[in-house]
């Protein structure tokens, strides 16, 4: 009985986390955030071309040279195929310090969602500064 309760709780948290990150991407509000000047070839597993947007707390942290970014930090990466935006990758640092990762391509948008550090997204992002791979030099 306990396992059912625990698993149901984890599933609900995962679904809520996925929906939160998808809503951030689909709202388009991130386009007013600090951004790389233009899309460029991806140097990671996302493929195609990409353009990253950072919310103000993450931008300020990155530009200050901080080695740990504050809770509430969010990065949105637009993913392009043949010059058209085809999806997003969204990373958010929760209030408890846990990073959550979402990547989805239209039309399904539910391909990848991970929480914490024991997953494919985090294993690649671990080489960055507090799981952020984009360098400060990419931003004006």
pLDDT digits (tens, 9 = 90+) for 50-89: 999 999 999 999 999 999 999 999 999 999 999 999 999 8
- Structure confidence at residue 111 (pLDDT): 66
The Cα 81–Cα 86 span in angstroms is: 6
pLDDT band at 132 (very low <50, low <70, confident <90, very high): confident
For Cα atoms 30, 96, 59, give the angle at the middle one, nearest 5 degrees: 35
**Total Cβ atoms within 10 A of residue 126:** 12
Residue 1 pLDDT exceeds 50: no
pLDDT band at 102 (very low <50, low <70, confident <90, very high): confident
Q: Which has more pLDDT, 78 or 116? A: 78
Listed residue (126, 76, 120) closest to 111, CA to CA: 120
Residue 13 pLDDT exceeds 70: no
């Amino acid at each position: 009985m306990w396992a059912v309760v625990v698993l149901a709780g984890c599933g609900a948290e995962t679904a809520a986390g996925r929906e939160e990150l998808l809503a951030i991407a689909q709202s388009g509000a991130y386009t007013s955030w600090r951004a790389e000047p233009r899309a460029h070839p991806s140097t990671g597993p996302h493929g195609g071309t990409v353009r990253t947007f950072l919310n103000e707390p993450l931008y300020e942290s990155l530009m200050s040279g901080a080695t740990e970014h504050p809770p509430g930090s969010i990065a949105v990466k637009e993913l392009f195929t043949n010059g058209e935006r085809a999806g997003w990758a969204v990373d958010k640092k929760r209030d408890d310090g846990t990073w959550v990762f979402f990547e989805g391509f239209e039309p399904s948008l539910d391909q990848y969602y991970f929480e914490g550090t024991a997953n494919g997204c985090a294993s690649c992002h671990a080489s960055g500064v507090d799981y952020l791979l984009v360098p400060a030099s990419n931003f004006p």
